[in-house]
Amino acid sequence: MRRLWLLLLVLTAACGVRPTGVLDGGPPPVISPKSTSATVYLLLGGRLEPRRVAAASHAMDHVMAALFEAGGRNTEGLSTALAGLRWESSQMTRFGVVRNDPENADGFRLSLFISGGGQVTRTAMAQMTCTAMRQRQDIWAVKITHTEVGGPVSLGEHTCREFWDLAAEGRQLPR
């Protein structure tokens, strides 16, 4: 028994590490497997059709990225007018009090920035505009800017209302 104690004493003294109390390392990391879904507008027979797709979050940049990605999958006979275009970013600014709506006195202008060599058709602008306005009712206008080789080109300010003629049969687009 004496040899065992001597051996234990030598081993603990030889490593140079002194025992300490319990140290709290904080909470363990948590990874949430929950996915978020957002409604985006894809095309069915050339008409705007709402579809739920997976998105990283409900943030506008994530929803728009999901729109551009969903269009490339072409599932259930759906297509997109966004082929050849890339999502870059968005910027929200106050629109100001110009609308006579007592329930919603202030609104926002959403600026969308895209790039790529694809053609930005009226249908492509409708997909982006209506998807954005469906996400947030306080967005009053969507300004689209396409960055080309020669620099940025403004494609104007739009509302989903100007694209109502592109709605799929039996579907109603946001205001």
User: What are the E-state strand segments in the chain?
Assistant: 36-44, 47-55, 86-94, 108-115, 139-148, 151-158
Per the structure, the complete domain to which residue 131 belongs is given by 37-166
Structure tokens at 89: 């970013």
Whether the pTM exceeds 0.85: the reply is no
Proportion of the chain above pLDDT 90, given as a percent: 53
Q: How far apart, in whole angstroms, are the C-alpha atoms of residue 150 and residue 127?
A: 25
Q: What is the pLDDT of residue 39?
A: 93
Q: Which long-range contacts (CB under 8 A, 24 or more apart) does 94-100 make?
A: 95/140, 95/141, 99/140
Stated length of the chain: 175
Q: Per the domain annotation, does 156 fall within a domain?
A: yes
Q: Per the domain annotation, does 3 fall within a domain?
A: no
Q: Per the domain annotation, does 29 fall within a domain?
A: no
Read off the pLDDT of residues 152-170 as tens digits, 9 standing for 90 and up. Answer: 999 999 999 999 999 999 8
Q: Per the domain annotation, does 93 fall within a domain?
A: yes
Total domains, the chain: 1
Q: Per the domain annotation, does 10 fall within a domain?
A: no
Is pLDDT above 90 for 112?
Answer: yes
Q: Per the domain annotation, does 146 fall within a domain?
A: yes
Helix (H) / strand (E) element for 129: namely: helix 122-135
Read off the pLDDT of residues 12-33 as tens digits, 9 standing for 90 and up. Answer: 655 566 777 777 777 777 666 6
Q: Per the domain annotation, does 171 fall within a domain?
A: no
Q: Is 153 exposed, middle or buried (0-12, 13-18, 19+ CB in 10 A)?
A: exposed
Q: Per the domain annotation, does 139 fall within a domain?
A: yes
